[in-house]
């Protein structure tokens, strides 16, 4: 199949918008998905992030709707996060620039008043997160009867985030006769179950093996003892890497992200680095992403809230400051670099307690990640007692996951050293004494 967009049955308005956006050739997912979507078929697409799957469904959707019509939406795109919803809406507006199609975006984190006003003006395409869409539907602001196309994007992430009840509720209220499109980066059991309920005789499209990182990304891992050494290694990478265009540093928790951000602000200042996590307000999050996109800042520190769907050009490096516990997130994190056939580098810092997840990641992606030697200039610091204990508890938990009969290094004697353990031991001894008294007590005869 030819990769030129002119070979698809797009009208001149859509082709002009594609040209304006700077696209010349269709990606593999676009080549495979656009024809069946244009034909009105249900499609299940499995494609890693950064492959152009948003355009793969947005372009034929615009072609199907063609022009503004009626007051209520004829197409609905559901996305797991606000950031991804914003990204999709930008794509829709880019590709519908030469049409009069009306797009409204719905997400939480701010009051619904403006969104309700936009819906009341008339809408053709709604891009929404599940919770806010349901809220406005139940409040009577959305009519579902005219809906012709329903898209679930990043379905696996929606499953991970616990959106299954909302998705099932949405499927109950939309018309039965519609075109369904489901896109996911991985084909988990939950996604397969959803596709069985959601799609009718779908065309299955898989452009890469499931959960395979882009071939354009070089992956490596450093084994580090603890968080202070991670900071020292991060400093060394920043000081000794010349070709950093943009860098995203992924952290497991908000606390970790804030700590890394504070270190970077001391090193550079807040004009060169931004932080992004769920504790930040909606405007702050949008401003941080826009600053990063527009080359105003070089480094973005983030939790997995932005691991998926955020299309930022020229990210040359991704640092996994922490190994993700949800192992599928590794693919999405490193998919922020090496996009659109550009080269990228993904570096992971792994402490002993994170090795469990690293092994599972390698099994998932069916690749062995290169282990690099710690640079001689990096000072390897001894970890604190608290961090060592936390790591030991984490390793215990991992062993219990693999073997339910495993008692753990913190069992028995170590348990006695804690207040809970001492109290439990006292209670157990008292119970034995009480039982003994009952056994040997004989009432006196009168």
Domains and CATH numbers, the chain: 5-206 (3.40.50.300), 217-383 (3.40.50.300), 399-428 (no CATH)
Q: Which of 212, 200, 216, 108 is nearest to 161 (CA)?
A: 108
For the chain, give me the number of helices (H) and strands (E)?
17, 14
164 with 90: CB under 8 angstroms? no
User: What pLDDT was estimated at residue 445?
Assistant: 57
Measured between alpha carbons, how far apart are the two ends of the chain, in Å?
A: 104
Measured in whole angstroms, how far is the alpha carbon of residue 438 from the centre of its chain?
60
Report residue 168 as tokens. Answer: 């099932």
Neighbours of 373 (CB within 10 A): 7
User: What pLDDT was estimated at residue 126?
Assistant: 97
Per DSSP (E only), the strands in 163-242 are 179-184, 203-206, 217-223
H/E element, 300: strand 299-302
SS3 203: strand
pLDDT one digit per residue (tens) for the chain, 446 residues: 446 788 888 999 999 999 888 887 888 889 999 999 999 999 998 876 667 889 999 999 999 999 999 999 999 999 998 888 988 999 999 999 999 999 999 998 888 999 999 999 999 999 999 999 999 999 999 999 999 999 999 888 888 788 888 998 998 889 888 999 999 877 777 788 788 878 888 889 887 655 567 678 899 999 999 999 999 999 999 999 888 999 999 998 888 999 999 999 998 877 889 888 766 766 777 788 888 888 889 999 988 866 555 667 789 999 999 999 878 788 888 888 877 667 889 999 999 999 999 999 998 888 899 999 999 999 999 999 999 999 999 998 888 878 777 766 555 445 556 666 677 667 767 766 676 555 444 555 55
What is the pTM (predicted TM-score) of this model?
0.61
376 with 352: CB under 8 angstroms? no
Helix axes 53-65, 28-38, angle to 10 degrees: 30
User: Cβ contacts of residue 94 below 8 Å, gap of 6+?
Assistant: 17, 20, 21
User: What pLDDT was estimated at residue 212?
Assistant: 64
Measured in whole angstroms, how far is the alpha carbon of residue 30 from the centre of its chain?
22
Report residue 205 as tokens. Answer: 């499209």
| Rounded Cα gap, residues 16 and 14, in angstroms | 5
């Amino acid at each position: 199949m030819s990769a030129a967009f002119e070979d698809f049955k797009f009208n001149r308005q859509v082709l002009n918008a594609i040209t304006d956006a700077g696209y010349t050739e269709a990606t593999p997912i676009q080549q495979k998905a656009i024809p069946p979507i244009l034909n009105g078929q249900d499609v299940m697409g499995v494609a890693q992030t950064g492959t152009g799957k948003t355009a793969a469904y947005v372009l034929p959707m615009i072609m199907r709707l063609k022009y503004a019509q009626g007051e209520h939406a004829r197409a609905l795109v559901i996305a797991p996060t606000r950031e991804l919803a914003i990204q999709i809406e930008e794509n829709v507006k880019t590709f519908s620039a030469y049409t009069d199609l009306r797009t409204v975006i719905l997400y939480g984190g701010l009051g619904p008043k403006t969104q309700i006003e936009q819906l009341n003006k008339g809408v053709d395409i709604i891009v929404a997160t599940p919770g806010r869409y349901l809220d406005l539907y139940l409040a009577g602001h959305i009519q579902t009867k005219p809906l012709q196309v329903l898209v679930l994007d990043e379905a696996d992430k929606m499953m991970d985030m616990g959106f299954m009840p909302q998705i099932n509720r949405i499927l109950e209220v939309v018309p039965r006769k519609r075109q369904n499109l489901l896109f996911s980066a991985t084909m988990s059991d939950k996604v397969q179950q959803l596709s069985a309920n959601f799609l009718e005789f779908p065309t299955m499209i898989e452009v890469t093996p499931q959960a395979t990182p882009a071939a354009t990304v070089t992956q490596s891992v450093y084994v580090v003892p603890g968080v202070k050494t991670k900071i020292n290694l991060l400093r060394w990478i920043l000081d000794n890497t010349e070709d950093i265009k943009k860098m995203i540093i992924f952290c497991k928790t908000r606390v970790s992200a804030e700590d890394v951000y504070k270190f970077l602000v001391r090193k550079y200042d807040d004009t060169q680095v931004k932080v992004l996590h769920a504790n930040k307000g909606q405007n702050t999050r949008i401003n941080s992403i826009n600053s990063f996109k527009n080359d105003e800042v070089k480094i973005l520190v983030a939790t997995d809230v932005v691991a998926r769907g955020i299309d930022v050009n020229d990210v040359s490096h991704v640092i996994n400051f922490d190994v993700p516990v949800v192992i599928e997130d590794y693919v999405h994190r490193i998919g922020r670099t090496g996009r659109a056939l550009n080269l990228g580098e993904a570096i992971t810092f792994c402490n002993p307690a994170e090795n469990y997840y690293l092994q599972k990641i390698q099994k998932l992606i069916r690749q062995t990640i290169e282990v690099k030697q710690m640079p001689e200039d990096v000072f390897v610091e001894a970890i604190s007692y608290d961090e060592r204990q936390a790591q030991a508890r984490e390793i215990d938990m991992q062993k219990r996951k693999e073997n339910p009969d495993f008692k753990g290094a913190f069992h028995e004697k170590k348990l006695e050293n804690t207040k809970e353990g001492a109290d439990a031991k006292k209670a157990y001894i008292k119970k034995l004494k009480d039982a003994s008294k009952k056994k040997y007590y004989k009432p006196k005869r009168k």
